Structure 1
Amino acid sequence: MTVTITPLTEREFFDWYGVFAEYATNAGVDATDEQVMRVWTALQKPGAYAAVAHDESGSVVGFVHAVPFERLLQGDGGLQLEDLFVAPAHRGQGVATALLEHVRGAAESRGHEFLRWAAHDDDAAVRALKEKFADAAGGWVLQSVPVA
């Protein structure tokens, strides 16, 4: 399958929304209109980056969302990959790899040193992507710690 990756534009909102709703459902989240608009608004903020994957017919079949972060001690930063999704019918065809390559290129063009990505290791496809893209992370592991 040939896939084209482009930065997300305002005119693609409804196409993106359809795939985003599928992503939320697959993640077990009931995405309300308010939540969807919160995500959309966050993607419009300076420094944020979002791209969509189009199949041969021009349909949106996946997306990637990233937001900037800073490392205070080092005085640098990068992009934090927040969401990466490919519609189930298009998985196993290189779409996720193309999306990761694209957002990595966007990070590089912005002068960032790296792209940070936190993902569950219980998915074989995610593990394969991490192995393909991640080099030595210096032993750092990003963890989520509940505060309430």
Structure 2
Amino acid sequence: MHTEIRPAGDDDFFGWLPLFDAYCRFYETDLDDAKALIVWNWLRDEANPLQALLAVDEEGTPIGLAHYRSAPQTLTASVGIVLDDLFVDEAHRRSGVARALIEHVRERAAELGTGGVSWVTAADNTEAQRLYDELATRTTWVTYEMSA
């Protein structure tokens, strides 16, 4: 199977939406129309740092997504990339699509001359962690969240 990795374009909303919806469901978060449109508008706004890649199959159907953004890294005085969301349609998992998306983000980081790519995942997302452990170094950092 040939998969193309490319930036999401203006005409990709209806291909991106089912993937983002499935990603939200995976993390037990409801996706309503308002939230979907807000995120899509962030992705399409050139002033917003959030960007999207799509993995598409031979027919041009999106089968995976990656949302990422550049972020200053003060300890290294460089700019890194944060991979916020990564999702591959269940029927296409274990076929190299997630790896290709992550590698594409890493190439983008290299273009920026940055400190690399970082991301977090749920502790129980062990299937994804097998791939992540092959591609990156697991850190000792602990993540905290605070409500506004």
8 Å CA contact retained: 1:47, 1:67: yes
The residue type paired with residue 123 of structure 1 is N
Q: Which runs of 5+ in 1 are unaligned?
A: none
1:128: which partner in 2? Answer: 130
Q: Which moved more, 1:116-125 or 1:99-108?
A: 116-125
Residue 15 (structure 1) shift: 0.8
Cα separation, 2, equivalents of 1:77 and 1:119:
21
With the length of structure 2 as denominator, give the TM-score of the two structures: 0.87
Percent identical residues: 32
Structure 1 residues 95-134: aligned runs within 5 Å: 95-134=97-136
| Structure 2 stretches lacking a partner, 5+ long | none
Paired residue type of 2:29: V
Q: Deviations over 1:16-48 (max 9, x none)?
A: 112111221222111111111221122234433
Q: Conserved in 1, the CA contact under 8 Å of 2:66 and 2:83?
A: yes
Superposition map of 1:1-148 within 5 A:
1-43=1-43, 44=45, 45-135=47-137, 140-147=140-147
Distance 1:111 1:46 in 2: 20
Aligned pairs, number: 146
CA distance in 2, matches of 1:64, 1:132: 18
Contact (CA 8 Å) 2:76, 2:115: kept in 1 or not?
no
The residue type equivalent to 1:72 in the other structure is T
Residues 120 and 126, structure 1, Cα contact 8 Å, conserved in 2: no
SS at match of 1:102: helix
